[in-house]
Structure 1
Amino acid sequence: MTNCKICKSENINQFIDIENITYKGTVLSVSMEYSICDDCEREFVSKQQILNNDARVRDAKKVADGMLTSTEIYEARMALRLTQEQASLVFGGGKNAFSKYERAEVTQSAAMDKLIRVCLKHSNIFNELQVSAGLPARSNQLCYEDNIVQYPKRKAANQERFKPVKSIELLRDVAYG
């Protein structure tokens, strides 16, 4: 809680209002925090509220640009089972990049956004990036090349390249994009 700088009162109420912001010709509605002193009726924005408001504006702009929000980046990192440090090794961007992306302190580049999305859809590409970053690849990832079903009457021209599937064990749903 913050004290009023004018009257030093601790009777401060916090509010959230919707503010319209124009961005690239589009009006974005963003919830913004502020405070009002009950004693002197001074309206002000604390340092923490400024940081929260900046993060909300940044995320609203990301949505308008079709990019992942800070929460979605966190969820993607969790889905890929990476720490922030491992994510920076795999995707690049610097030692503290993912911490800043997830706090909406910094907006990721369009290329970073696309790379994260590709890795969420294509586990084989993600595995290659992990190995190139010096991290162990996951052996339980499913890949469609390993799940070819043989048909008894006809054979594919390249069937000898593939081993027959005796049983299919589904470890988790995987999108093949």
Structure 2
Amino acid sequence: MTKQGEICPICGEGHLDHRVEKNEVEYNGHSAQLDCHFSVCDSCGSEQASPIQIRNNKRAMMAFKKQVDGILTGAELKALRQRMGINQSEAAAIFGGGPVAFSKYESDDVMQSEAMDKLLRVAGEFPDVLSSLAQKAGIDILGQSQAAVLSSDPAKYVRFELPIIIETEAPDLKRPKLRLVHSSEPTMRPVSDEWVAVSSQRYASC
């Protein structure tokens, strides 16, 4: 950022006064008042912006564009990543985009793709998705973001092993003979003399 009192590079005599003013911008039919960083020379009166001031102005505009397009802003994406319990390099390994992708996303230097944005939202909402992606990337995140989730609701993510009980024996029961009546002479027809098996099962929840 331009330092207060820095010599003006245009006239070489005056000093620069850093200022921040609201500037109205428009994007895709939406308008907003964004902070605009610049400096004014107290001698020649020229308005100018240093590379850092230009970068800050671009970042503010990028964040506004993300909001309009329904994309996570840099601040929102950073908060989501922190809730996942991973750093920027781990996020890049899990979701892709390059080694410094998340530094650029979170600084609002660039806009992540719509596909990347959707993937991040899904992984943030469903821990199993995040765990699967992290495992494929060779990153162990258990004990980080997952630890908080598991401690708050272990029954949701921990598999409980319950005994399986199968009852195959039944009391000494046989089926009775049934009398079948036809238009001809009545006859007696036995039904199966096999044992009746009663089974009862309880399964472990998964």
TM-score by structure 2 length?
0.68
Please tell me whether the aligned partners of residues 128 and 137 of structure 1 are also in contact (alpha carbons under 8 angstroms): no
| C-alpha displacement of 1:122 | 1.0
Between the aligned partners of 1:65 and 1:90, the Cα distance in structure 2 is: 24
Q: How much has 1:3 moved relative to structure 2?
A: 3.0
CA separation of 1:73 and 1:41: change in aligned 2, threshold 3 A: same
Q: What are the ranges of 5 or more consecutive residues in structure 1 without an aligned counterpart?
A: 149-157, 164-177
Q: What is the letter of the counterpart of residue 140 of structure 2?
A: P
- Describe the SS at the equivalent of 2:86: coil
> Does 1:144 pair with 2:152?
no
Runs of 5+ consecutive residues of structure 2 not aligned to the other structure: 161-200
RMSD over aligned Cα, in angstroms? 2.2
Equivalent runs, 1:143-162 vs 2, <5 Å: 144=156, 146=158, 160-162=203-205
Q: Distance in 1 between matches of 2:202 and 2:57?
A: 58
Residues 68-101 of structure 1, C-alpha deviations (whole Å, 9 max, x = no match):
1111212222211212111001111111101111
CA contact (8 A) 2:21 2:36 kept: yes
Partner in structure 1 of residue 138 of structure 2 = 134
CA contact (8 A) 2:86 2:141 kept: no
Q: Deviations over 1:2-54 (max 9, x none)?
A: 53122224621111111122211111221111110112211111111110000
Identity of aligned pairs, percent? Answer: 32
Residue pairs, 1:1-177, within 5 angstroms:
1=3, 2-9=6-13, 11-138=15-142, 140=147, 141-142=149-150, 144=156, 146=158, 160-162=203-205
Q: Distance in 2 between matches of 1:73 and 1:84?
A: 11
User: How many residue pairs align between the two structures?
Assistant: 154
Q: Which moved more, 1:20-29 or 1:123-132?
A: 20-29
Q: Given the two structures, how large is their TM-score scaled by the length of structure 1?
A: 0.78
Q: Which runs of 4+ in 1 moved over 4 A?
A: none
Greater mean deviation of Cα atoms: 9-18 or 89-98: 9-18
